Structure 1
Amino acid sequence: MHRVTHPLVFILSAVFCLAVTGTSLAVDAPAAQAKGGSLILATTTSTQATGLLDVLLAKCSEATGISVKAVAVGTGRALELAKNGDADVVMVHARTLEDVFVAEGFGTNAYDLMYNDFLIVGPASDTALAKSAPSAAAAFGRIASGSTKFISRGDRSGTHERELSIWKELGIVPTGFWYVEAGQGMAETLKMADEMQAYVLTDRATWLSMRGKLHLSAIYEKPDELKNPYGIIAVNNAKVPGAKTDLAIVFIDWVIGPQGQDVIKNFKIDGEQLFHLAVGKRK
């Protein structure tokens, strides 16, 4: 004899099991969907050259299952990649360009993330007397009026944008034998400055990671004057079809959360912290 059980019995049994185990189908399903996936991060050369990305992305993948491929270029180029649909999230350091990127609808969920500072490095002899200058602009002016070369990134990076803003403050359009545009990332530009014993504006993180290999000295450094903030922004799929905006937001939430912040604040070279936290959602 076969017993037929009323469907209501199955329903009540299922509810009972869920109550006992504390399981919620409505909560578990989205969590399972959020786990894993892949993203492309367009970022600056400084985050890669220092080694921060290697640690940060490995920890993120371990915690979230998200696989992140990083493309390290200058900030201007990183934002162009995002606009063209070749990145899902950006981590960059040129606030003016970032604000335009968001205002034009390409970026969403923008956060301040961290900062360090820029400094001028050059030959220890400091023939331009830039070290004693009262401001970064004055130091640039002394270099421009001297005979020692200055190496520019020349690549629309955040560092290049900051350099250009200083020349603009002086009313100088840098040209001539003393001004050399590298068109390279920060590490390669520092190597060129080393070979030519020239001055260069660099971010502190890349400088700290490379100074032991270079015959250059820190010439002008005033962290408050030359602050270098970094932001992290999801690419908006309403403007860039195909961008993985939802997954990018999951990634950003992890980076700005306790685990990501812990990686950033504890990332050091020779005992010196390379990036300082400044997390906050932008309006």
Structure 2
Amino acid sequence: MFPAFLKRTYSARSSSLLTMACAFLLALGVAVPAHADSKTLKMATTTSTYHSGLLDYLLPEFKKDTGYEVQLLVTGSGKALKMGEMGDVDIVLTHSPKAEKAFLDAQFGIDPHSVMYNDFIIVGPKNNPAKLSNDDNAVQGLTKIAKSQSTFISRGDDSGTHKKELSLWQSANVSHNWSNYRSIGQGMGPTLNMSSELQGYTLTDRGTWLAYQEKLDLAIWLQGDPAFFNRYQIIRVNPARYEGLNVEGAKALSQWIIGERAQTLINQFQVKGQKLFTADAKTSN
């Protein structure tokens, strides 16, 4: 039996208490029930879809259309997929292609669909100590940051953004072990805040940047490289592996978010007048 507060129904931003409680229980090795009732389903998702405000915008429309309430567990993609592996959620929305492939290959997940894409950017101090140029690609920019030993703040949390950062260092053939490289094990918001406080560079999704930028003493230095492409995929947790999943609710969300109405809403979503995501629904397998 779980405490009453774990059974409450949340929408979008009001899910933070549930998120922290479930994460704490999972850390202790305690299984969390996948859903409270047939009209409630649990989705593990990334901080970028949450902090950008996209899910606050989409999920009330999903509830209007289907009657289903979604409880969000907001974390990095790696931890979100781990919740799926444990059968603690009904569905995941993530942006970590290699980890998603492993999740599907191990038959923890089924029915993958690409939902949308956006992009990553590299932001940093306005005085630009690494002397980045707007003409630099990702590899050139990261090489300059490393050679100058400028402060770089890494999420270090096994998220999709963290995995992308590591892959970019690998592509640049650069070791990220200098003293001013700091891996903090935090989400995107805290990482941006620390980058601003310490005047360091960091890799961020554009949506979270737009949500936070007015509070930050940072500027965009690298963007537009195809290497910064960032696709999001929705995957149902495999009901053949776990009892008690809200199979119908997960199906409803998966089909709704790749449907014409949701895809139009995604394309219309803006923050500060800028479009953040491009709808891209298709079966990904």
- Distance in 2 of aligned mates of 1:223 and 1:263: 26
Secondary structure of 2:177 counterpart: coil
- Distance in 1 of aligned mates of 2:269 and 2:214: 18
Alignment correspondent of 1:77 = 79
> How far is the alpha carbon of 1:105 from its aligned partner?
0.4
| 1:216-255 superposed matches below 5 A | 216-255=218-257
| 1:123-202 superposed matches below 5 A | 123-132=125-134, 134-202=136-204
Gap change, CA 1:201 and 1:54, over 3 Å in 2: same
Q: Does 1:103 align with 2:108?
A: no
| 1:264-275 superposed matches below 5 A | 264-275=266-277
Identity rate of aligned residues, in percent?
A: 38
Q: What TM-score, normalized to structure 1? A: 0.84
- Distance in 2 of aligned mates of 1:124 and 1:167: 22
> How far is the alpha carbon of 1:133 from its aligned partner?
5.8
Say if 1:118 and 1:204, in contact at 8 Å, map to a contact too. Answer: yes
> How far is the alpha carbon of 1:103 from its aligned partner?
1.1
Write out per-residue CA displacement over residues 97-146 of structure 1, whole angstroms, 9 at most, x where no aligned residue: 11111111011110001010011000111111122563211211110111
> How far is the alpha carbon of 1:280 from its aligned partner?
0.4
- Distance in 2 of aligned mates of 1:146 and 1:133: 18
Write out per-residue CA displacement over residues 218-264 of structure 1, whole angstroms, 9 at most, x where no aligned residue: 00111533101100011011123332233201111111112211221
Say if 1:235 and 1:244, in contact at 8 Å, map to a contact too. Answer: no
Say if 1:121 and 1:202, in contact at 8 Å, map to a contact too. Answer: yes
Alignment correspondent of 1:43 = 45
- Distance in 2 of aligned mates of 1:163 and 1:272: 24
Secondary structure of 1:225 counterpart: helix
Gap change, CA 1:274 and 1:266, over 3 Å in 2: same
Write out per-residue CA displacement over residues 172-206 of structure 1, whole angstroms, 9 at most, x where no aligned residue: 33123210012111111001100011000001111
Look up the equivalent residue of 1:66 and give its one-letter code: Y
Say if 1:106 and 1:240, in contact at 8 Å, map to a contact too. Answer: no
Q: What TM-score, normalized to structure 2? A: 0.84
Q: Does 1:67 align with 2:69?
A: yes
Say if 1:92 and 1:231, in contact at 8 Å, map to a contact too. Answer: yes
Between 163-172 and 85-94, the greater mean CA deviation after superposition = 163-172
Write out per-residue CA displacement over residues 26-53 of structure 1, whole angstroms, 9 at most, x where no aligned residue: xxxxxxxxxx611100000011111111
Between 259-268 and 39-48, the greater mean CA deviation after superposition = 259-268
Look up the equivalent residue of 1:38 and give its one-letter code: T
Of 52, 55, 58, the residue aligned with 1:56 is 58
Q: Mind listing any 5+ residue stretches in structure 1 that lack a counterpart?
A: 1-35
Look up the equivalent residue of 1:175 and give its one-letter code: N
- Distance in 1 of aligned mates of 2:130 and 2:99: 32
Write out per-residue CA displacement over residues 19-75 of structure 1, whole angstroms, 9 at most, x where no aligned residue: xxxxxxxxxxxxxxxxx6111000000111111111211111111110100111000
Gap change, CA 1:145 and 1:182, over 3 Å in 2: same
Alignment correspondent of 1:257 = 259
For the pair shown, the structure with the greater C-alpha radius of gyration is 1
Look up the equivalent residue of 2:176 and give its one-letter code: P
Aligned length: 249
- Distance in 1 of aligned mates of 2:188 and 2:277: 16
